[in-house]
Amino acid sequence: MKFGIYRLHEPLDESELASIEDAYGTAIDIVSVFRAWNRCSIKDDLPWLDRLKSSTRDVFLTWEPWMLPEREERACDQPDFALKNIIAGRYDDYIRSFAGELSSFPRTVFLRVMHEMNGNWYPWCGTVNGNSPGDFIAAWDHIRNLVNREASFRIQWVWSPYARSYPPTPVNRMEDYFPGDDVVDWVAMDGYNWGGEREWSEWQSFEEIFSDAYNTLTALSRCPIMIGEMASTGAGGNKGLWINEALHVIETKFPRIQALIWFDVYKECDWRIASSLESLEAFRTGIKLFKRQA
């Protein structure tokens, strides 16, 4: 069982990773990073990619075809990045250039393209910008074909919906976005316990958040499963207990999960493992059992 981590200041260097490993009581197998396409200029990416190539860990790279928005409100409204434009080849030069850089990575790159496609907060969702789930599959195939011509070695393709579809309509089911096991290496799912942080949220266990999605993924695909993003707030419940129970239930009720990535940042709220001494100690205890299943 592999454990990975995401921090906002990216990419993490080896001294930072060693410090986190010491504090959290576990090895970090995977470093999670996000990269927006933004200006679609490979020159913008080169310093960042060069730093990442020096890491001794595998890389979980979330590749986002959008301009990183200044505000979250209606961030999905980016028609330049509508799926039809990707399919038509508008960004082919950039995709090829980026793939060429990936070809020289010395370790495995878990490449997660257009994640949470069943969530209407991204411009590649099938319910915004004139998109459809079928367009997503066509865009996936288009990007994959271009990347694999340059960097097929060490690339593991990760298809990663959100644990629940928003909007929860028949035209936005996560299974309608699945491109097939022949073009996917891993399936993943993201989910968070928002607890009492928002007016619309309530405390939820790991099982309540992920069970339905897990059942869908196991029926849909034979690929190994990972948690691409997970975390819990401490508002409205006992975060230490949540962590302990989550790691235990993965071991006992979610046997096809082979890796998890913790979203270890203070962003919308305090998602960090070490947001309190109690939650940190719960993680240090639980992760020993979790990693033992590797």
Domain with 61 in it:
2-292
Q: What is the pLDDT of residue 291?
A: 66
Q: What is the pLDDT of residue 290?
A: 67
Amino acid 92 reads D
114's CB contacts (< 8 A; 6+ apart) are: 63, 64, 65, 122, 124, 136, 139, 140, 143
CB 158 within 8 A of CB 186: yes
Q: Per the omega criterion (within 30 degrees of 0), is the bond before 167 cis?
A: yes
The encoded tokens of residue 70 equal 């200044």
Average pLDDT over residues 132-142: 98
Query: Does residue 200 have a pLDDT over 60?
Result: yes
Domain containing residue 119: CATH number: 3.20.20.80
In the chain, the number of structural domains is 1
Using 50, 70 and 90 to split pLDDT, how confident is the model at 271?
very high
Q: What is the pLDDT of residue 293?
A: 55
Average pLDDT over residues 167-184: 97
Average pLDDT over residues 60-79: 89
